[in-house]
Amino acid sequence: MFTTASTTSDKILQMFAAILLFAAAVGVILFAASRVAGKRDRAVAALYLLPTVLMLGVGLLYPGVRTVYQSFFDASLSNFIGLDNYTKIFTDAEQLTVLRNTAFWVLVTPFAATGIGLLYAILVDKARLESFAKALIFLPMSISFVAASVIWKFMYEYRPDQRNVQQIGLVNQVIVWLGGEPVQLLIESPLNTFLLIVVMIWIQAGFAMTVLAAAIKAIPDDIIEAARLDGVGPWGMFRFVTLPAIRPAVVVVMTTIAIGTLKVFDIVQTMTGGRFDTNVIANEFYSQSFRSNDKGLGSALAVVLFVLVIPIVVYNIRQLRRSEA
């Protein structure tokens, strides 16, 4: 039951065994709770929270603390080396490229995805076929980053510029149609990083659109009508009515996308594997921890990632507080 399942029936059996095991655990807890019921909430609550606290403690809290500790050790985790891993992240040329690329990602993606999502939400608001139009933009959100990367890698495909060779990637074909020469899009740095960012924007714009469209729908009609009576034009309507009303939603969307972007791994791993100067922190973490086996440096990169998430979360919470006040 706790071994590697290799045949189809093994796998399915093991799956049901796992579900049953947890169902049985819940059953035992409920049974025990019904025995002590009527006495005190305290005992029942302890039983209900036991599996959660156990799993979060062992599976999240302990590994988190352990990673911080390990980030002060060398590649094999046997010698304490102080802050050396962190020094490397902020001075080593290769690591600086990683940081630079991550900065590109986090600075570009939230603004671009939110801008496009907002524009589209306004354009299709109350339009005919609104829900169909929204579904088209939203669909990329439902597929895996891996599938999205394959889709875009095909868009960026390059064929050498020779007679009898046709481009099969649409982007290079458009370049050729416009009279240009085909480009090795995923190899040219720093262009390639921005082309990977396009994939993230393509995925996240649907998320931004959905949240912002809901926020726009929630603006009271009388405010819009009053502004209209004052002769406010479409641009003024956007600038002085829509935007202030949906500001909290915009903040939430931008910070959410920023956090997701900071942790982007799948796209880089699938499209370039971090080569050609496209590496980012989350991918470098994976390479160092599990490919190069420098677990100390990998841990330090994970900690840097965590530290970078915190200010975004704090900003988000402060903005939410302000809008509630």
Partner 1 sequence: MTTAAPLTTTPVSKSETKKLSAAASAKNKLTSPWASLAAVVLAVLWTIPTFGLLISSFRPEMAIKRTGWWTFFSDPEVTLDNYRAVFDDGGINLADFFLNSLVITIPSVVIPLCLASLAAYAFAWMNFPGKNILFIAIFALQIVPLQVTLVPLLQLYVKAGLNNTFWTLWLSHSTFALPLAIYLLHNFIKEVPSSLIEAARIDGAGHVSIFFKVLLPLLTPALAAFGIFQFLWVWNDLLVSLTFAGSPEISPMTVQLSNLSGTRGTAWHLLSAGAFVSIVVPVTVFLLLQRYFVRGLLAGSVKG
Distance in angstroms (rounded) separating the CA atoms of residues 322 and 325: 5
Q: Is 94 in the site for partner 1 (CB under 8 A)?
A: no
Stretch that binds partner 1, among 11-19, 79-87, 92-100, 240-248 (CB under 8 A): 11-19
Q: Is 72 in the site for partner 1 (CB under 8 A)?
A: no
| Smallest distance from partner 1 to CB 24, Å | 11
Nearer to partner 1 among residue 104 and residue 120 (C-beta): 120
Nearer to partner 1 among residue 219 and residue 305 (C-beta): 305
Residue 73 bridge partners (DSSP): 80
How far CA 148 is from CA of 86, 135, 139, in Å, comes to: 33, 16, 11
Residue choice 18, 28, 83, 96 for contact with partner 1 (CB under 8 A) = 18
Stretch that binds partner 1, among 50-58, 83-91, 107-115, 189-197 (CB under 8 A): 50-58
Task: Dump the DSSP string for 137-180.
Answer: HHGGGTS-HHHHHHHHHHHT----S-TT----SHHHHHHHHTT-
Nearer to partner 1 among residue 42 and residue 93 (C-beta): 42
Chain residues 158-187 in contact with partner 1, contact rule CB under 8 A? 166-170, 173
Nearer to partner 1 among residue 168 and residue 223 (C-beta): 168
Chain residues 186-245 in contact with partner 1, contact rule CB under 8 A? 202, 205, 207, 210-211, 225, 228-229, 231, 233-234
| Smallest distance from partner 1 to CB 152, Å | 6
Nearer to partner 1 among residue 200 and residue 205 (C-beta): 205
Which two tokens mark 102? 């991550």
Q: What are phi and psi of 184, to 5 degrees?
A: -75, 80
Q: Is 37 in the site for partner 1 (CB under 8 A)?
A: yes
Q: Which residues of 33-62 are buried (b: 16+ CB within 10 A; e: fewer)?
A: eeeeeeeeeeebeebeeeeeeeeeeeeeee
Q: Which residue has the tokens 């931008």?
A: 254
Task: Dump the DSSP string for 204-259.
Answer: HHHHHHHHHHHHHHTS-HHHHHHHHHTT--HHHIIIIIIHHHHHHHHHHHHHHHHH
Q: Is 45 in the site for partner 1 (CB under 8 A)?
A: yes
Nearer to partner 1 among residue 12 and residue 83 (C-beta): 12
Q: Which residue has the tokens 């965590």?
A: 306
Of 170, 145, 148, residue with least CA distance to 159: 170
Number of residues that bind partner 1 (CB under 8 A): 115
**Which DSSP category does 73 fall into?**
B
How far CA 274 is from CA of 96, 109, 256, 267, in Å, comes to: 14, 18, 24, 9
| Smallest distance from partner 1 to CB 42, Å | 5
Q: Is 155 in the site for partner 1 (CB under 8 A)?
A: yes
Q: Is 320 in the site for partner 1 (CB under 8 A)?
A: no
| Smallest distance from partner 1 to CB 318, Å | 14
Please give the angle made by the CA atoms of 103, 105 and 108, to the nearest 5 degrees: 100
Q: Is 151 in the site for partner 1 (CB under 8 A)?
A: yes
Q: Which x/- pattern over 248-287 shows residues binding partner 1 (rule: CB under 8 A)?
A: --------x--xx-xx-xx--xxx-x--------x--xx-
| Smallest distance from partner 1 to CB 93, Å | 23
Chain residues 100-139 in contact with partner 1, contact rule CB under 8 A? 116, 119-120, 123-124, 127, 133, 135-139
**Which DSSP category does 92 fall into?**
S
| Smallest distance from partner 1 to CB 124, Å | 5
